[in-house]
Amino acid sequence: MKLRKIAHSRTGDKGDTSNISVIAFESKDYDFLCSTLTTQVIHQQLQPALKHFAVDEIKIERYELAQIAALNFVIRGILKGGVTRSLSLDAHGKSLCSVILNIDLPEYEEKGI
């Protein structure tokens, strides 16, 4: 099962930093998201996108927002200088939401959540 079945995502940008939120459709899934979506998992999922964005190294920070059943990932360095300096077709990084929502969640089905 894909992450997109239990959550939606939004993204924003500031300079070369992308801000990606993952929001559970149902609050009962929030703890599962917290235990599953580590910065390492997000980094691994973004590896193919790093080539598209012509970026070698990024730094990911995760913030938990339990009150709204959301996680916020701040990804520094992924937008290669920001909107006004990048030649990327996706200078705002909006496609990164789809990349994140494509994460496979086999353990979700195994746990029968």
User: pLDDT tens digits, residue range 23-35?
Assistant: 999 999 999 999 9
User: What are the angstrom distances between the C-alpha of 35 and each of 57, 71, 76, 101?
Assistant: 24, 11, 22, 16
Taking all residues of the chain, what is their mean pLDDT, rounded to a whole number?
87
Distance CA(19)–CA(79), nearest Å, equals 11
User: pLDDT tens digits, residue range 50-67?
Assistant: 776 667 788 999 999 999
Q: Where are the domains of the chain?
A: 3-111
Task: Please indicate whether residue 95 or residue 33 has the higher confidence score (pLDDT).
Answer: 33
Phi/psi of residue 57, nearest 5 degrees = -135, 135
Of the CA atoms within 13 Å of residue 74, those in its CB half-sphere come to 7
- Model pTM score: 0.87
The single residue listed with the structure tokens 């339990």 is 66
Which of 35-44, 45-54, 73-82, 94-103 holds the top average pLDDT? 35-44
Task: Please indicate whether residue 66 or residue 83 has the higher confidence score (pLDDT).
Answer: 66
Tokens of 68: 């709204």
Fold (topology level) of 3-111: Alpha-Beta Plaits (3.30.70)
Bridging pattern class, strands 7-14 and 70-76: unpaired
